[in-house]
């Protein structure tokens, strides 16, 4: 795996304080990126405008501003629209993937992720041109969102022995 990121900065956003250092360590082990972190979407926006990163990796489920919202905000602003955006989340359903990519993410990864897949996603996001991004979003706009699977539509069974009231 060749090293990428010389002279570039990546902003990594995740509210999991156990996972965040591991992500930083992995990225630094396999690249020459300067890694800046944030543990929520609001802080991430502040950091974004402080450091002007070359790439952003964001979790979805965070307090306050979630990852989908952050991606839409960055894609919706002409000054930030071209920054490569990667969603890294535990949300593995196809519907979640569709929402993430339709929000404007270049890549959608599901945790846990192997270092090789992580670095490949960063490399691919950095390589995406604005035209490729526009084509991908246009293709998503023309497609049907995935239907919920059975697990999403069935009510959760009641636990035996639990009292309600």
Domain ranges of the chain: 9-153
List the structure tokens of 150: 């059975």
Q: pLDDT truncated to tens, each residue of the chain (165 aa)? A: 567 888 999 999 999 999 999 999 999 999 999 999 999 999 999 999 999 999 999 999 998 899 999 999 999 999 999 999 999 999 999 999 999 999 999 999 999 999 999 999 999 999 988 888 888 878 777 777 777 765 444 444 444 444 434
Total Cβ atoms within 10 A of residue 5: 21
CA–CA separation, 48 and 53 (whole Å): 6
5 bridge partner residues: none
∠97-101-103 over CA atoms, to 5°? Answer: 115
Across-strand partners of 10? 35, 55
CATH of 9-153, one of 3.30.413.10, 3.40.50.2300, 3.40.190.10, 3.40.50.10190: 3.40.50.2300
């Amino acid at each position: 795996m060749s090293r990428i990121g010389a002279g570039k900065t990546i902003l990594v956003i995740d509210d999991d304080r156990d996972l965040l250092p591991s992500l930083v360590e992995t990225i630094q082990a396999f690249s020459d990126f300067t890694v800046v972190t944030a543990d929520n979407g609001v802080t991430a926006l502040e950091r974004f405008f402080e450091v002007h990163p070359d790439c952003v990796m964001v979790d979805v489920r965070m307090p306050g501003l979630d990852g989908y919202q952050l991606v839409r905000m960055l894609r919706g602003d002409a000054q930030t629209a071209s920054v490569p955006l990667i969603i890294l989340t535990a949300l593995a359903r196809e519907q979640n993937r569709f929402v993430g990519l339709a929000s404007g993410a270049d890549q959608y990864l599901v945790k846990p992720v192997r270092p090789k897949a992580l670095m490949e996603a960063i490399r691919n996001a950095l390589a995406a041109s604005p035209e490729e991004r526009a084509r991908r979003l246009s293709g998503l706009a023309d497609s049907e969102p995935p239907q919920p699977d059975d697990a999403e539509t069935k009510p959760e069974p009641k636990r035996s022995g639990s009292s309600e009231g």
